[in-house]
């Protein structure tokens, strides 16, 4: 808690505030995640920047265009995945020695960007917070930074994109976050540095970084055996670490990271994995203390509960409990002791930035994913991909509105809820895994996810697919259900018939499904506390 002591100095009373955060784990562990965040459940996010201009993913990802455009034959991992972008760049724009990544900046104009329209889409989509891309690995800043000329106010759009959207979303009553991926800037342009393209010019070092580059790396290629099987992942990790950050890279990261926090006072600060290496540890702690202390200083919270969210991606990066852990396209298998976050994208696989003609996920899949996440005490931050001009593709707008329409009907089972004693019932198909070992989000009528209200008087059992004529909640078999007051299917006026059997709570479903056609929450209200599941 914040403690204020008044010292009498003559006729002057000077307030002296008590504890403040220090860049030490013992101090940073005095952190509690905010209730607004755990209540929110869903936030929107964007991947938007200079890479939205070429809008080409090749064999990897559109937002990694600036990395792979400089890579030559055999210089990228996983089946030479970067070569497609390199060849596309040469055919479309010219050799990287003639047309570098910096030359895309004047083409990034954001001429149709309207912050008010973006905020409206967030509200329509049911999001409770919005996270703006501050800068991706390319280090082109979308805010009015005073620390680098490579920003959207000096170049390209000639606008403070972060500042505009911050005002617009807060005006709508949403919380505001920023996303900062610049820690890996030193490594992102690795092949630019190694192959001696425009990164060798000191005039561009604030864009491309100042890494430590050992000699002879221009001869490094992928051995054939490393292109197949498990070896591809080993190479992928090594390809990130061929060069190292300099002290200037590290100091520059901290200065810009603090500036972004100071200027916009974000309620959430998201980091990608680039700050995971041990070289960043002292600066990670320094920033965390700075961010939490600022939140106290600006009245957002107090010591111990600063009321802001700091995300980290690797369990070694921050001590558990000192910040909020994030999982990229993944999550927890069970209910967690502390709120956590999944960051995911409307695109499948690796791509996050806008690429024309690439299909997005069905809204139904996003809803199923959301219910799985929140049943385990998680929050979903879902990324969209605007075009370079600042407009969202039509299919992404449709998804936002479909998601919002479902939440309009079923949001009671989502917002401000907490996990039940068990997260749900899992069907066989959900347990299947894809080629990367991740569980497939393929739900059937056997998949149920539980949430409850904070008062613990209402249980929501959400069937991720339509159960048919009869819904059976097997988790409640043998439980004391004598306190049930009512049972209702959200989205339908008429209350269904229900009975307690040896199989569990059985509910007679209506002939017609709710119009939304996605996950189906059943609201079970109790006269007292929600019944605990049987321990049999």
Q: How far apart are the first and last CA of the chain?
A: 43
**SS3 sequence of 2-34:** CCEEEEEECCEEEEEECCCCCCCHHHHCCCCCC
Tokens for 507?
A: 């509910």
Q: What is the pLDDT of residue 238?
A: 38
Residues 406 and 516 in one domain: no
Does residue 215 lie within any of the structural domains? no
> Which stretch of DSSP H or E encloses residue 399?
helix 394-410
Residues 428 and 394 in one domain: no
Residues 45 and 114 in one domain: yes
Q: What is the pLDDT of residue 432?
A: 62
Residues 279 and 291 in one domain: yes
Q: What is the pLDDT of residue 73?
A: 86
Q: What is the pLDDT of residue 219?
A: 63
Count CB neighbours of 55 within 10 A: 18
Q: How many domains does the chain have?
A: 2
Per-residue pLDDT of the chain (536 residues; tens, 9 = 90+): 333 333 333 333 233 356 999 999 999 999 999 999 999 999 999 999 999 999 999 999 999 999 999 999 888 776 778 999 999 999 999 999 999 999 999 999 999 999 999 999 999 999 999 999 999 999 999 999 999 999 999 999 999 999 999 999 999 999 999 999 999 999 999 999 999 999 999 999 999 999 999 887 766 655 444 444 444 334 333 345 688 999 999 999 999 999 999 999 999 999 999 999 999 999 999 999 999 999 999 999 999 999 999 999 987 899 999 999 999 999 999 999 999 999 999 998 789 999 999 999 999 999 999 999 999 999 999 999 999 999 999 999 999 999 999 999 999 999 999 999 999 999 877 656 655 455 566 788 899 999 999 999 999 999 999 999 999 999 999 999 999 999 999 998 889 999 999 999 999 999 989 988 999 999 999 999 999 998 76
Cα(400)–Cα(122) distance, rounded to whole angstroms?
8
Tokens for 369?
A: 């994913």
Last residue of a domain, one of 392, 417, 442: 417
Indicate which CATH number applies to the domain containing 313.
Answer: 3.20.20.80
Residues 289 and 412 in one domain: yes
Residues 450 and 408 in one domain: no
Spatial CA neighbour of 73 closest among 60, 86, 61: 86
Q: What is the pLDDT of residue 217?
A: 73
Cα(333)–Cα(341) distance, rounded to whole angstroms?
13
Last residue of a domain, one of 417, 435, 467: 417
Burial class (CB in 10 A: 0-12, 13-18, 19+), 22: middle
Indicate which CATH number applies to the domain containing 485.
Answer: 2.60.40.1180
Cα(409)–Cα(269) distance, rounded to whole angstroms?
30
Does residue 220 lie within any of the structural domains? no
Does residue 76 lie within any of the structural domains? no
Cα atoms in the Cβ-side hemisphere of radius 13 Å centred on 264: 32
Q: How far is CA 184 from CA 51, 69, 82, 100, in A?
A: 16, 17, 18, 19
Q: What is the pLDDT of residue 78?
A: 66
Spatial CA neighbour of 324 closest among 333, 337, 334: 337
Cα(190)–Cα(169) distance, rounded to whole angstroms?
36
Residues 486 and 399 in one domain: no
Residues 360 and 406 in one domain: yes
Find residue 425's DSSP bridge partners: 448
Residues 434 and 373 in one domain: no
314-339 residue pLDDT tens: 878 999 999 999 999 999 999 999 99
Cα(221)–Cα(311) distance, rounded to whole angstroms?
35
Cα(296)–Cα(311) distance, rounded to whole angstroms?
18
Tokens for 72?
A: 């030559």
Residues 275 and 373 in one domain: yes
Does residue 84 lie within any of the structural domains? no
Tokens for 450?
A: 């539980």
CB of 247 closer than 8 Å to CB of 186: no
Does residue 12 lie within any of the structural domains? no
Does residue 288 lie within any of the structural domains? yes
Tokens for 442?
A: 């393929």
Residues 400 and 318 in one domain: yes
DSSP alpha helix (H) spans, 172-220: 185-188, 190-195, 205-208
Q: How far is CA 519 from CA 44, 163, 242, in A?
A: 20, 36, 46
504-508, strands of its sheet edge to edge: 470-473, 504-508, 498-501
DSSP alpha helix (H) spans, 333-393: 363-374
Residues 462 and 383 in one domain: no
Does residue 102 lie within any of the structural domains? no
160-198 residue pLDDT tens: 999 999 999 999 999 999 999 999 999 999 999 999 999
Last residue of a domain, one of 417, 447, 482: 417
- Torsions phi, psi for 255 (to 5 deg): -60, -45
CB of 339 closer than 8 Å to CB of 379: yes
**SS3 sequence of 427-491:** CCHHHCECCCCCECCCCCCCCEEEEEECCCCEEEEEECCCCCCEEEEHHHCCCCCCCEEEEEECC
Does residue 25 lie within any of the structural domains? no
Count CB neighbours of 296 within 10 A: 21
Task: State which residues form the domain around 452.
Answer: 420-526
pTM: predicted TM-score of the whole model, two decimal places: 0.93
Cα(4)–Cα(27) distance, rounded to whole angstroms?
18
CB of 57 closer than 8 Å to CB of 385: no
């Amino acid at each position: 808690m914040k403690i204020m002591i008044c010292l009498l100095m003559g006729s002057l009373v000077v307030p002296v505030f008590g504890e403040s955060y220090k860049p030490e784990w013992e101090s940073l562990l005095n952190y509690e995640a905010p209730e607004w965040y755990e209540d929110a459940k869903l936030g929107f996010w964007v991947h938007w920047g200079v890479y939205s201009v070429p809008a080409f993913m090749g064999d990897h990802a559109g937002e990694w265009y600036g990395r792979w455009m400089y890579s030559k034959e055999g210089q990228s991992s996983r089946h030479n995945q970067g070569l497609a972008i390199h060849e596309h760049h040469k055919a479309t724009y010219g050799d990287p020695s003639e047309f570098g990544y910096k030359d895309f900046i004047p083409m990034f104009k954001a001429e149709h960007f309207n912050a008010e329209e973006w905020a409206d889409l967030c509200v329509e989509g049911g999001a409770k917070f919005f996270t703006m891309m501050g800068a991706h690995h390319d280090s082109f800043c979308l805010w009015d930074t005073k620390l680098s000329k490579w920003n959207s106010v000096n170049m390209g759009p000639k606008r403070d994109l972060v500042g505009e959207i911050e005002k617009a979303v807060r005006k709508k009553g949403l919380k505001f976050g920023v996303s900062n991926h610049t820690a890996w800037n030193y490594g992102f342009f690795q092949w630019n540095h190694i192959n001696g393209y425009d990164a060798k010019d000191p005039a561009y070092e604030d864009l491309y970084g100042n890494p430590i580059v050992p000699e002879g790396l221009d001869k490094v290629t992928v051995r054939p055996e490393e292109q197949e099987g498990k070896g591809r992942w080993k190479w992928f990790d090594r390809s990130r670490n061929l060069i190292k950050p300099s002290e200037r890279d590290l100091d520059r990261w901290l200065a810009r990271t603090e500036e972004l926090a100071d200027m916009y006072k974000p309620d959430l600060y998201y980091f990608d994995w680039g700050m995971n290496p041990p070289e960043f540890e002292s600066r990670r702690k320094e920033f965390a203390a700075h961010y939490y202390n600022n939140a106290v200083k600006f009245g957002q919270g107090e010591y111990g509960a600063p009321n802001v969210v700091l995300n980290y991606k690797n369990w070694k990066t921050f001590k558990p409990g000192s910040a909020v852990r994030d999982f990229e396209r993944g999550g927890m298998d069970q209910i967690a002791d502390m709120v956590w976050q999944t960051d995911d994208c409307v695109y499948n696989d690796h791509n996050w930035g806008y690429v024309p003609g690439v299909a997005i996920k069905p809204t139904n899949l996003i809803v199923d994913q959301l219910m799985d996440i929140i049943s385990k005490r998680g929050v979903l931050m879902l990324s969209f991909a605007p075009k370079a001009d600042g407009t969202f593709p039509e299919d992404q707008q449709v998804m936002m509105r479909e998601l919002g329409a479902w939440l309009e009907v079923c949001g009671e089972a989502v917002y401000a809820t907490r996990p039940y004693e068990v997260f749900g019932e899992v069907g066989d198909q959900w347990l299947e895994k894809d080629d990367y070992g991740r569980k497939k989000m393929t739900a059937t009528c056997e998949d149920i996810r539980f949430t409850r209200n904070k008062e613990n008087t209402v249980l929501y059992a959400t069937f991720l697919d339509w159960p048919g004529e009869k819904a059976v909640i097997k988790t409640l078999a043998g439980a004391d259900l004598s306190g049930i007051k009512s049972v209702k299917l959200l989205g339908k006026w008429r209350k269904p018939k229900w009975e307690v059997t040896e199989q569990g709570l059985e509910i007679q479903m209506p002939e017609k499904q709710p119009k939304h056609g996605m996950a189906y929450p059943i609201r079970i209200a109790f006269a007292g506390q929600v019944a605990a599941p049987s321990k049999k």
